[in-house]
Structure 1
Amino acid sequence: MTAPAPPLIFDAARRRARLARSATRFVEADFLHRRAADNAVLSLEATLRQFPVVVDLSAQPGPFATRLTDSDAAGRTGPVGSVGDLTDRAAPGGSDLDLAPGSTDLIVSLMTLHWANDLPGALSQIRRALKPDGLFLGTLAGAGTLKELRGVLTEAELAERGGAQARVSPFAGGYDGAGLLQRAGFALPVSDVDRLTVRYPDLFALIRDLRAMGETNVLAGTIRPLTRSILARAAALYADRYGETDGRIPATFEIVNLAGWAPHESQPRPLPRGSAKVRLADALGVVEHGRNRPG
C-alpha cells in the first residue's frame, strides 16, 4: 500500500523565486546563517573523528564552508560538496537526494529544512545517505521565530480586510527536534534551541532583511498582497506593542540545532528495561526518610 503524500505546505516554485531574488543581497542579512554555521562548527570541533566525505544541503551553502576553513575541525574534513537542498522534494526515497546510500561521512543542512513539505522524509533521506556512524548537523527556524511579526500582521489584516491569511510559516518547536531525528532512524539524537533578539528601526527594516535572506512568505496557495494600509497599521501596532525606549523594535529568532548519527554497533546503547542491578536512589546516594528498609 502506497503511503499518502505529505500535505503541500510550501510552494517550491515560489520559494526558488524568493531565493533567486535574494541572491545578490544575501550577504547584507546573513547573520542567522553565520550564527547557524558557528553552531554547527562548534559541534563538529567537539567530535574527534575524521569526515572525509562532506555534503552541505543548505540552500545558502557559503556560511558553513567559510566558517569551517577557520576551524580546528577543518583538518579532519574533506572538501565540502553540495548537491542542492531537499526542501522541494515531497516524498522520501534515496534517489531523491542524489547521493548513494551509505556514501557520506558528514551531512550539514543550515536554515533550510523549515521549508520542507516532508521534514521526516527529508531527514530519512539524509540518514540513509550517511555511512554507518556518519553525522548529521542541521539547523532550522524554531517556533518562536518572528512571533511579534506574526501577531501584528494578523491583527492588522483582520482590521483592514475582515479576514487574514497566514503570513509567517509554521515552524517546528525545539522539543520536536530529537523526536524527529529518532523517527528518521538516527541514533543519539540531540536538539537544542538558540534564541536571539535583533533590534530594527521599524517593521520595514525587518521586512527588508527577510527579503534579503530569501525568507519571505512561500506558503502554498493564492497569496493576497499586503496593502500599504495593512503594513502601516502593522508597523504602528508593532511599535506600540513592542517598541523600546529608543524607538527600535525587537524581532525574535530561534535556531533549532539538530545532531544525529547513523546507527553503528560501536555506539552506546541503553540497557534493556528492567536489567539494572542498582536502584537509582542508591546510585545517587539518596537517603530515604521515614521508610523501613530491609536489614
Structure 2
Amino acid sequence: IINISRTKGSTSSSCSMNVFDRQMKRNQKIWSQNQKNFQQYNYLRQEEVCASAGDSISCVCRTFPLTLDLSGSTSFITEHLSKDVVQRVVLTNVSPHTKYTHSEIPTMCVSADEEFLPFKENSFDLVLSSMTMHWINDLPGALRQVCSVLKPDGVFLGAMVGGDSLFELRCSLQLSECEREGGFSPHVSPFTSVNDVGNLMSSAGFNLLTVDVDDVRVNYPGFMELMMDLQGMGESNCALNRRSMLHRDSMLATAAIYKELYGNDDGSIPATFNILFMIGWKPHASQVNTYYL
C-alpha cells in the first residue's frame, strides 16, 4: 500500500531551529491517550476541527484512493469521512497504544513523526493533519515533505492552532508573574500567524492555496479547569525555554487576574482558540480551479 524510503534519522532541513522539545510532546501525547477519560478532552479536535475538515473534503469533487492522516494516533477525522470519497487511510502514530476510531474506511497505522515522513514521493492522493503541526520545529521542512509525498494533483488539508490563541491565558500569566516575581517567562507556546502559513505553503510548492481562520471560544469554570483540559488534550507547553513549574502565588494571581479581565457574567472564563485551516494542491499540468462545488 505504501512505499517506505526515509528513516527517522533523516532530517527535513539542515538549518531548522529547535523551539519545542519533541520528546516531551511525544510523552505528553502518550500520557493523554492512555487516560481513561481521553475522549472527553478531545471536543475541540473532534467536534470543531475534524468536523470542519470532513465538510471541506466532502466538497471536493473527486475520490482519494489512499490518504495519509498525520493527526498523531487519533483518527477522529475518519468519523466525518465517507468511503465513497476516501477509500483507505494510513494513520501515523506516536504511541504504542494507538487509539483510532473504527469506521467503514480501512485504516492502518504506521509509526512516523511529522518532521520525518518515512514515505516515498508521490505516494498519497490526500494528506490530512489535525491539530499537530503547531508543535513542529521545522514547519517549512514538514510542509515540503507533505508536498513531496503527495501525488501530482494531490491535496493537503490541515488544521493547526495559530494566531492569538489563548491570548487571555498568556496575558494573565504575564501580569501575575510581573506582579509576584518581577518578570515573566513564556508559559504558552508561540503560534504561527495566518499570513505566515500562506507564505510557507507557497514556498513548499503548493498551488491553489486556501487559508482560513476560525475562532473557537470555550468557557471554563476557572483557571485550573482550563489548565487541566490543556493537559488532557496533550496540549501543554513544551517549548525548550519554558519554566519547569509555576509558583503557587503566581497561579492564584493568574486565576484572579484572568477572571477580572476576561471573566463572563456567570463566573466562567473564556479561552479563545484561533484554528488555521489550510488547503493546498500539488502542482499538475492539468490543474484547474474547478474542484469545489
Report if TM-score (shorter chain) is over 0.5: yes
Distance 1:112 1:258 in 2: 13
Residue 83 of structure 1 pairs with residue 92 of structure 2: yes
> TM-score if structure 1 supplies the norm length?
0.83
Q: Name stretches of at least 5 consecutive residues in structure 1 with no aligned partner.
A: 90-95, 270-295
Q: Is the 8 A contact 1:11 1:218 kept in 2?
A: yes
Residue 215 of structure 1 pairs with residue 235 of structure 2: yes
Number of equivalent positions: 257
Partner in structure 1 of residue 4 of structure 2: none
Q: Is the 8 A contact 1:133 1:261 kept in 2?
A: yes
Change (3 A) 1:193 1:262: same
Structure holding more helix per residue: 1
Change (3 A) 1:238 1:123: same
Partner in structure 1 of residue 145 of structure 2: 125
Q: Is the 8 A contact 2:20 2:239 kept in 1?
A: yes
The 3-state SS of whatever aligns with 1:97 is: coil
How far did 1:66 drift?
Answer: 2.1
Task: From 22, 27, 39, give the equivalent of 1:27.
Answer: 39
Distance 1:21 1:253 in 2: 23
Partner in structure 2 of residue 42 of structure 1: 55
Q: Name stretches of at least 5 consecutive residues in structure 2 with no aligned partner.
A: 1-12, 95-111
Partner in structure 2 of residue 136 of structure 1: 156
Output one character per residue of 1:209-241: Cα deviation in whole Å (capped at 9) or x when no partner: 101100011001462310211110000000111
Output one character per residue of 1:122-154: Cα deviation in whole Å (capped at 9) or x when no partner: 000000000001110100001121000001111
Change (3 A) 1:88 1:138: closer
The two structures, once aligned, show a CA RMSD in angstroms of 1.7
Whose Rg is larger? 1
How far did 1:254 drift?
Answer: 1.0
Residue 206 of structure 1 pairs with residue 232 of structure 2: no
Question: What fraction of aligned residue pairs are identical, expressed as a percent?
Answer: 37
Q: Is the 8 A contact 2:114 2:142 kept in 1?
A: no
Q: Is the 8 A contact 2:72 2:92 kept in 1?
A: no
Task: From 19, 22, 28, give the equivalent of 1:12.
Answer: 22
> TM-score if structure 2 supplies the norm length?
0.83
Question: Relative to structure 2, which stretch is displaced further, 143-152 or 22-31?
Answer: 22-31
Q: What amino acid is the match of 2:15?
A: A
